[in-house]
Amino acid sequence: MSATMTSQKNGKSPCGCGGSATKTAASCNCGCATCASCPDQGYVRPLFFAGQLLTEDDLQQLTDYVVAKNRLHARYLAGSGVVCGLEVNCEPCGGSKVIVNPGYALDCCGNDIVLSCPQTLDINQMVRDLKIKLRGGYDCGDPCAGTTTGKTASGGAASSGAYSGTSTGTQGTAMSSGNPGTTTTQTQGPAHKYCLYINYCEQPTDPVSPYATDAPCGPNTTCEPTRCLEGFRFELRCEDDCEVKSPLCDRLWGCIGDRTDHERVVRDSELLRAYGGGILEAWEKVRNEPGLSLHVGTFERRLEEHSATLKGALGTLESLERKERISETVLRQFVEAVQHLASDIAHFRVQPSDRQQEIRRNKKLSESIGNAESQLGEASGKYEQFREEEKEVLTSALERAHVATLFQLLRRILPQEVAKSARKGALPSAVYLTYTPIRFLAAGAVIGEPFQATAAFHLKLLREWLIDHLEKSAQTCCDLLKEVCAVTLPPPTSSEETIAADARMMGTAAEVLARAAGDVWRSCICNALNPPCPSCNDTGVLLACITVEDCRVKDICNAVREFVLTPVNLRYWIPEIQHIGHEIAEWCCHCECPEDESQNPQRYRLNLPGMGRTPIYVRMLLAALEAECPPPNTPRGRGLGERVSRFLESEPPFNDVTSAGFAAAGGHQVVYEAVQEASTSLKKDLTDALGELESMREEHKKLHDRIARLEQKQAKA
């Protein structure tokens, strides 16, 4: 209906927003705005006035409006599915028949499907009709001919049940059986599974001859139906093997795109955000403090801490057996420990020569520096052992390039590299003072040719993915595409003069693009959380799936159906809702009658130490009032609940309840603390269980490898 939907205005004004906007403005001058509507949909209800000539269109419009609004509410507010009843059960005599019990359902168009009486269906007949439909109308005969499903009272064939009908029900076609009064069996092969649906249908009834013709209905008289009978029909379908997908997940992945690209973008964004942030921080330090001054006390503490961490990581690597594969977690912890300690040594190396000599006069600190250099040398050798295995452990080329650049810089700050520079006639300190990657390492970041080339390539891929995604998908960040396009990508290589500038460019690009990727994912998630209007491609409502074997119903599964989440169903599934109402009602409607308290003093109450006998749900309600309902000009947390608690403290509603009810004893606080303690305990137990599981996995892996080696030795022997 391509018309506008209007509403009548309340008040004493002789006109309102209903009716024609032109007439209203001309005759009443009310200034009512014209309602807007889409050109292809709207809801129009008829308006009547004295002396109006009513036609069938006017009366039909009124009916159509009410029916359309009811269907609209049922479709979008309730949804499709079974509301209640409609259980499918086996027929008492067994065989090929099932019984559909009375119930109520809604289809996806909002139509009411009401089954007021039990319906008996013959599944064999419905299977035959389904096969005829699937074969394009060809009937290859009854596959269950010669098979009966039980004896009848007269010894004849068992009649089939109704599989389609209206509110009055219509009978299906009876199947022929074998010899009267006997039961034969015919094997039809493996079991097949079908799904039973119920559909809404309408049937015009009660034809009447138009009044103007004044003639009875006959062969030459056109009669018009005067009633529309709403009914139902059953339909059997083959089981759908397709996996049921969540519409929310479909919308989310439809926005994100290809999962392989998404995983790559997520991994690159996480790494670039971490690396880029470190590079920008290092660039700020190098720019603001070119000398990178070193505080002896702070340097000594960091050196001891990072040396201990690297020692532990090296110990973990040593504990691995020769053929045992290094895990991703162990390798990353090892690389992180190496970077921290290498940053400390690089910070020492970039100091002027006189400053280095001054620091080495501290014997303890000089020994710590020597030990740290020895650990880094051992770590460099250990890395060479795992270099081939690193490609399998670290799946990201960006992370592998970062690790390779780190150990490349590490070799330049080891003592042998310092001695090599001294033999060439250059002061070791001068080498590091002018080499920018070492200065960035001293500031805590890794930058170098291998990492820069790989990072530039991954930044380009991330930028292209963002531009393509933002151009094709709906976004809520309107300036994000412009911001991404304005990002300047760093070059894959840099000269000695431009390393610092290109490093800053890399850090800025990584920070902006990683943040943009996060905005894209957040936008996709938030848009997916907005429920779309449900589509209606299939008006059938699934009732049950039925397994048929040898022309007999073997099993019925009613759990496959979808239910409409009505308040009645929720109260049925969650009886605690009614218990909450009972507790609140008893507390609110309590009369101070001693005999009532003595009869059942513990009903619907939870007794906790120092909390009186106020029901637990009432305490939670008062806690919410205290937190969420403060009076005007009062801070949150000092609200209605506190005043109610004080009132309850002075006038307890139950006998033997003292002032320890709420405010003095902190009843709601006790409940919250108990819940928090239980949650903390549960988290701790879960963490311990996961740790034990990981330990068991490691032990199992070691035992498996040892058994394999023993088997190999026995085979060689």
Condensed to tens digits (0 to 9), the pLDDT of residues 258-299 reads 888 888 889 989 999 999 999 999 999 988 888 888 888 899
pLDDT for 693: 85
- pTM for the model stands at 0.64
What pLDDT, on the 0 to 100 scale, is given for residue 325? 75
Q: Tell me which of 222 and 272 has the higher pLDDT.
A: 272
More confident position, 112 or 144: 112
Give the model confidence (pLDDT) of 190-208 as tens digits.
Answer: 788 999 999 999 889 988 8
89 has a pLDDT exceeding 60 = yes
Statement: residue 177 has pLDDT above 50: no
Percent residues over pLDDT 70 in the chain: 71
* Average pLDDT, integer, range 562-576: 88
Given this model, what pLDDT does residue 243 score? Answer: 62
Q: Looking at per-residue confidence, does 330 or 170 come out higher?
A: 330
Instruction: Please tell me the least confidently modeled range out of 149-153, 434-438, 439-443.
Output: 149-153
pLDDT of residue 8: 40
Q: Where are the alpha helices (DSSP H) in 657-666?
A: none
Of these ranges, 10-24, 125-139, 185-199, 654-668, the one predicted with the greatest mean pLDDT is: 125-139
How far apart (Å, rounded) are the C-alpha atoms in residues 550 and 518? 57
Among 285-294, 544-553, 584-593, name the one with the lowest average pLDDT: 584-593
Q: List the structure tokens of 595.
A: 């005999």
List the structure tokens of 238.
Answer: 């083959």
State percent of the chain over pLDDT 90.
28
Amino acid at 320: L
Encode 394-420 in three state secondary structure.
CCCHHHHHHHHHHHHHHHHHCHHHHHH
- Share the mean pLDDT of the chain: 76
Structure-block tokens of residue 56: 């069938």
Is the pLDDT at 129 greater than 60? The verdict is yes
In this predicted structure, the answer to whether residue 636 has a pLDDT above a threshold of 80 is no
Pairwise pLDDT comparison (655 vs 308), residue with the higher score: 308
Determine the 3-state secondary structure of 396 from DSSP.
Answer: coil
The DSSP code sequence of 341-375 is HHHHHHHHHTS-HHHHHHHHTSHHHHHHHHHHHHH
More confident residue, 622 or 252: 252
The answer to which of 383-392, 439-448, 544-553 has the lowest mean pLDDT is 383-392
> What's the rounded Cα separation, in Å, for the pair 608 and 673?
13
The confidence band for 579, taking pLDDT boundaries of 50, 70 and 90, is confident
Q: Which of the listed ranges 84-88, 433-437, 691-695 does the model predict with the highest average pLDDT?
A: 84-88
Which pLDDT tens digit goes with each residue over 351-382?
A: 888 888 888 888 889 999 999 999 999 998 88
Residue 246 pLDDT greater than 50, yes or no:
yes
Tell me, what's the pLDDT at 216? 59
Average pLDDT score over residue span 81-87: 93
Sequence length of the chain is 717
Q: pLDDT category, 146, cuts 50, 70, 90?
A: low
Average pLDDT in the 700-715 region?
A: 83
Q: In sequence order, which ranges of 634-666 are alpha helices (DSSP H)?
A: 640-650
Strands (E), 270-387: none
Token pair, residue 441, equals 């390492």
pLDDT at 219: 56
Query: What is the rounded CA–CA span in Å between residue 625 and residue 620?
Result: 9
For 249-258, what is the mean pLDDT? Answer: 84
238 in helix, strand or coil?
strand
Predicted local confidence at residue 186, as pLDDT: 47
Predicted confidence (pLDDT) at residue 434 exceeds the cutoff of 90: no
